[in-house]
Amino acid sequence: MSSITKLTDLGQSLWYDYMERRILENGELAKLIEQGDIRGLTSNPSIFNHAIAKSKDYDSALIPMSWAGYTDKKILELLMIEDIERVADLLRPLFDKTHGGDGFVSLEVRPDLAYETEKTIAEAQRLWDIVHRPNVMIKIPATEPGLTAIRRSIAAGININITLIFSIERYKEVMEAYLSGLEDRIKAGKPIDHINSVASFFVSRIDVKVDKYLEPNIQSKGGEAQIAKSLLGKIAIVNARLAYQEFRKVFESERFSKLQAKGARLQRPLWASTSTKNPAYPDTMYVDELIGNHTVNTIPPQTLEAFKDHGKVSLTIEKDLDGAKKAFLDLERIGISMKKVTWELEEEGVQIFSESYNSLLASVKTRREDALSELGLLAKSVSARITQFEADHFLNRFYAMDGSLWTDDPKGQEEVRIRMGWLNLPDSSKALLPGLDKFSSEIRDAGLSQALLLGMGGSSLAPEVMSLVFNESTGLKLTILDSTDPAQVLRAARKNPVRKTLFIVSSKSGGTAEVNALFDYFWERAVRTLQDKAPEHFIAITDPGTSLEKLAFEHNFRKIFLADPKVGGRYSALTAFGLVPAVLMGMDVAQLLDCASWMASECSLNQPIGRNPGIVLGAAIGEAAIQRRDKLTFIADPEIAPFGAWLEQLIAESSGKQSKGILPVNGEETGKPEAYGSDRLFIYLRQSGKYDNKVKLLRKAGHPVLTQDITNNYALGAEFFKWEFAIATACSILGVNAFDQPDVQDSKSRTVEKITYYREHHKFIENKPIAEENGISIYASFSPDGKGLSQIMGKFLASGRVGDYVAINAYLMRDKKNETDLQKLRMWVREKTKFATTVGFGPRFQHSTGQLHKGGANNGLFLVITTDPKQDLAIPEEGLSFGTLEHGQALGDMEALEARGRRVLRIHLTEPDILARLVNILTS
């Protein structure tokens, strides 16, 4: 039997004298409760000061509230109440099991009210009403003004933990206040059977104080020195033991028996401040020596661990009472007054808690001001937006899927209602886990070691992010193929031998042209190699009723996973589209969803709107956009940088319509402050802190930079949900429907027309180049000043205006060499123009930023780079090659851009390797 079990059997409860958000979120506190190690918890300003001021655990709540314009006191109170409510809920099963005998958590009234009776009463009632849980106790200090507050609060039916009791005389007054309060309540005709109270009698602080008074006596000569030495480290325990005798007198009295008959509960003495302050004393002495029936001992973590390891358990509370009385007499004999000691301790106790509270408030103020400095000049408008949201009941309407938040169009509102299923995914997707785990085991048992996902946009980006972030996963090695570039298709084929590969055909609509072409190619390869075993190497992820579901059924795919049809593609990271590949990679998807669930609770209806991380982040992004800071620029630590590609699609496709939009700038090298115009809002996706210094410089120069800490890789689950919430919110501010993509189809339709023409005429209709040199052809709708590449590019960039951006859309293989060359080109463009720059590989970008390019504001300059492939590949059964399809996609997209009056310059290379030469010509 453990020492704690023995202790509990003897009638003493251990409560935890400690609180920080970390132990709530990592399950440590829940484990302590489940193991029976603790049966309650107390808090005070000192504990919260340590928790909030010395960690970042509270930032996910503190920062949004700061941006929302909440005051320091409001922020602090909400943080404390959140913790208390969560602890109360964790302890509630114990409270119910013990019929209110244990399972309590305490919340203290503000220490600055310790000598103000009426204000203490009002504050106790207010906190009791806010927390609204039967297993919460409100802490009131046992000052003289506090005694009246205690009595009246008990009479009001509030559970009270009376704190800062040092003297036996004051303890008697506390018990009197409790009994009188119960009697007052009975006189008022109200029940008392649900009222709970403890009296917190402080221990170790007494020895600290008395020992200091004893020191001069020890230095003297004679009998007083011997008496003083014998009393060192003894008075706190004897004080508590004698107080326990007073407890017995009162609660074994006829007066209490009458109250008990009406349901009254014992007011248990609670031994507080029980960690040993003097290292010369045994570390468990204030537990070992104060064990008694109907008592509570509150202990900090280090004392709990010490007691579990070597605590001594026996009934000690009434041990050597004669010796206790003699110790008091000896103390008085050498001139030390316990009345003076305890009076000083009470005054100091109130002062210490007040100082801790003030220090805590100052810490919150500093943190709030730091958070506001991230917003810079946006702070006022973001706060005003949150206030407006509160008045408009925005959060309630959001969860009610009220389409009028985004559009006045009835059809658009209906689209909203059938596309917001993502709100429930953190919990609903957990039902997929048993089946996914079983399937993953089946695949491993089949000897497959690799997976190739054939998908575009929302079907491929979340799996790609997870494969790059979790690059040391224990399952299948996942490759994403989201291109029709022949070189990229060939590379994927070489890296994924058919016999070892599971092919994941992923398409929400089921009819994505690129996915169909890729399936045809890899299906033929599989059949050629595996013959009738080929279907065992294919699975499909799609919505119910799509052509892909039908195709997979007809081809007898190994498995068909159907995703939630009420979730749009770019919001589908936590559906089967993201989770099936994640499980196959060996990720702990349960942990990923737990993180998402945590963020869903942070963004829930139960939270104040200014506490909602998703809404407040969205308000900042939306307000920035309407103030022409619409270039949302990501700075990302290397560990989390792949997340930017997913964000790019979410933001661009959701916001870019009706000549409005937010341009996500992903992967642009972080420069000095002077490299940027005034149209930027920066987001720092922080994990290692690599860019801390650069971020400081940007803020100092007046650029708003919002830091989003991503503490570990599984926090991606939370980030998926938060950003979906944020971008939907930002789109509401912009007045665009976050859940449709009206301009994407135009480019697809134009591509189909061009491919149809090619099938009939074996060529495309193209304008003649305006210039040609060294394997480089230039196409433009404007007349150049000169014929050289540099002059034409110069005129093209000169057409830009303040607030424009340059999009480099390259229909090339996406590999490190081309990425490096294009990065060099974009940095040259930014240096020359101060414009925001993006780089997209086609046709991949058409499924991410393509909607913004066509539907957003006409402030983009589009540099399109195409090439003739070195080696083309035929698409089986199509009479078409991948190179031809890619060429048609480029022409269709450019035509859609030009039809909307966009500025487009196309550079065509006779072979892909000329890209490096092109970049050198332009940047030299």
- Which are the catalytic amino acids? 139
Contacts of 773 (CB under 8 A, 6+ apart): 788, 789
The Cα–Cα gap between 107 and 14 comes to 17
Give the residue from 440, 799, 455, 758 showing the smallest Cα distance to 585.
Answer: 440
Report yes or no: 637 and 688 within 8 Å, Cβ to Cβ.
yes
Rounded distance between C-alpha atoms, residue 521 and residue 875, angstroms: 6
- Inter-residue contact 653 to 664 (CB < 8 Å): no
Tokens of 778: 């230039």
Helices (H), 673-781: 692-700, 716-734, 744-761
Q: What one-letter code names the amino acid at 389?
A: F
Determine the Cα–Cα distance for residues 728 and 615; give it in Å rounded to an integer: 9
The half-sphere exposure of 684 on its side-chain side, counting CA atoms within 13 A, is 23
Going by C-alpha positions, the residue among 265, 106, 254 that lies closest to residue 182 is 265
DSSP state of 871: S
454: three-class secondary structure by DSSP: strand
To which residue do tokens 């078409």 refer? 880
The token pair at 515 is 């996915």
Question: Do strands 805-810 and 197-202 pair parallel, antiparallel, or not at all (unpaired)?
Answer: unpaired
> For residue 609, which phi and psi values (nearest 5 degrees)?
-60, -35
Report DSSP state, residue 847: G
Strands (E), 784-887: 805-810, 836-841, 860-867, 874-875, 880-881
Report phi then psi at 333, rounded to 5: -60, -35
Backbone angles phi, psi at 297, to 5 degrees: -125, 125
The residues with which 450 forms a beta bridge, in sequence order, are 477, 501
Cβ 16 vs Cβ 298: under 8 Å: yes
The tokens describing 875, both together, are: 């698409």
Q: DSSP 3-state assignment of 451? A: strand
Q: How many whole angstroms separate alpha carbon 797 and alpha carbon 825?
A: 13
Do the Cβ atoms of 904 and 895 come closer than 8 Å?
no
867 closest CA partner among 491, 514, 484, 495: 484
Residue type, 278: N
CA distance 881 to 520: 12
Query: 904: which residues sit within 8 A by CB, 6+ positions away?
Result: 780, 781, 862, 864, 894, 897, 898
